[in-house]
């Protein structure tokens, strides 16, 4: 049992939930009652409830009470980026081409562009000991008057730079499928009929909700495994 008061309270309530003494949608005793039960102050008790809420055990409704939450065990987490998540690791990134096109098709849709808008198209190849293991096509809107893009376009890790700079401001989305390598199979020394992982990745401005980049990553199937898990309780951030 923890010698920190609010953690002791957390442990006790958690035990009641796990043991079934409290069931989903049951109301906890009111905060004033719990204060007496555990002999702690309001703020201390509320810190405990806050932790339990963060860890998904309870939720609260103002004016009504605190309730046991139905556990959500279907939520998984994993880490991914196209450079470090492959196995064996990427040791070389080849910039195949950088071109400026007029937006069209899926890319125009994804980036929410107008007819005459231009896009930068970047093709990259990821290699491990000289073997190509992944191929990426990234699109992002081209602004002729913003020199930043042209300055940085020479760096092969352009997209990485972009993301790092904006990291706090962007949200990313992935869609992972199995598809035929198709027209890009030659980049990976495959035949068009070979199956590969296809990861569609979009980055989006968190505030404006505007799409920033859209890319397709093809990964040879032997070089990628997704390892995911339900979040650990310590991964749920600690409370001050």
Partner DNA sequence: CAGTGGTCTAGACCACGTG
Partner DNA sequence: ACGTGGTCTAGACCACTGG
Contact call for residues 164 and 170 (beta carbons, < 8 A):
no
Q: Which does 206 bind (CB under 5 to 8 A by kind): DNA, a copy of itself, none?
A: a copy of itself
In angstroms, the CA 199 to CA 224 distance is 11
Which of DNA, a copy of itself, none has residue 6 at its interface (CB below 5 to 8 Å by kind)? DNA
The residues near 99 (Cβ < 8 Å, ≥ 6 apart) are 120, 121
Query: What letter would DSSP give residue 85?
Result: S
Q: Which is nearer to a copy of itself, 75 or 148 (CB)?
A: 75
Stretch that binds a copy of itself, among 1-9, 39-47, 90-98, 131-139 (CB under 8 A): 39-47
110 binds, among DNA, a copy of itself, none (CB under 5 to 8 A by kind): none
Cβ contacts of 97 within 8 Å, gap of 6 or more: 121, 122, 123
Residues 164-183 that bind a copy of itself (CB under 8 A): 167-178
Q: Which is nearer to a copy of itself, 88 or 229 (CB)?
A: 229
List the structure tokens of 132: 């190509």
Check binding of 232 to a copy of itself (CB under 8 A). Answer: yes
Of 113 and 219, which has the nearer Cβ to a copy of itself? 219
Residues in CB range of 180: below 8 A, 6 or more apart: 192, 193, 194, 195, 196
Among 27, 29, 44, 54, binds a copy of itself (CB under 8 A): 54
SS3 136: strand
**Residue 158, binding choice from DNA, a copy of itself, none, Cβ under 5 to 8 Å by partner class:** none
Count of positions on this chain that bind a copy of itself (CB under 8 A): 57
Query: Residue 6, interface with DNA (CB under 7 A)?
Result: yes
CA gap 91, 216 in Å, rounded:
20
The residue from 12, 26, 54, 65 that contacts DNA (CB under 7 A) is 65
**Three-class DSSP category at 140:** strand
Regarding beta strands 118-128 and 92-102, do their DSSP bridges make them parallel or antiparallel, or are they unpaired? antiparallel
Residue ranges that bind a copy of itself, judged by CB under 8 A? 14, 17-18, 43, 46-47, 49-50, 53-54, 56-57, 60, 70-71, 73-81, 84-85, 163, 167-178, 195, 197, 206, 221, 224-230, 232-233, 236-240
């Amino acid at each position: 049992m923890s010698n920190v008061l609010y953690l002791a309270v957390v442990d006790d309530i958690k035990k009641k939930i796990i043991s079934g003494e409290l069931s989903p949608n049951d109301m906890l005793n009111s905060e004033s009652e719990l204060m007496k039960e555990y002999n702690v102050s309001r703020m201390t008790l509320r810190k405990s409830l806050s932790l339990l809420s963060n860890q998904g055990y309870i939720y609260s409704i103002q004016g009504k009470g605190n309730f046991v939450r139905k556990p959500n065990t279907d939520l998984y987490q994993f880490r991914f980026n196209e450079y470090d998540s492959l196995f064996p690791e990427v040791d070389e990134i080849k910039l195949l081409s950088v071109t400026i096109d007029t937006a069209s098709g899926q890319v125009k849709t994804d980036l929410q562009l107008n007819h005459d808008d231009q896009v930068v198209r970047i093709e990259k190849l990821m290699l491990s000991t000289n073997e190509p293991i992944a191929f990426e096509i990234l699109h992002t809107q081209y602004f002729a008057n913003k020199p930043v893009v042209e300055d940085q376009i020479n760096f092969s890790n352009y997209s990485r730079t972009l993301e790092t700079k904006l990291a706090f401001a962007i949200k990313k989305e992935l869609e992972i499928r199995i598809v035929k390598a198709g027209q890009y199979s030659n980049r990976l020394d495959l035949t068009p009929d070979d199956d590969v992982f296809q990861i569609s990745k979009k980055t989006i401005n968190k505030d404006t909700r505007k799409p920033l980049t859209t890319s397709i990553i093809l990964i040879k199937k032997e070089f990628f495994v997704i390892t995911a898990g339900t979040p650990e309780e310590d991964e749920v951030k600690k409370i001050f």
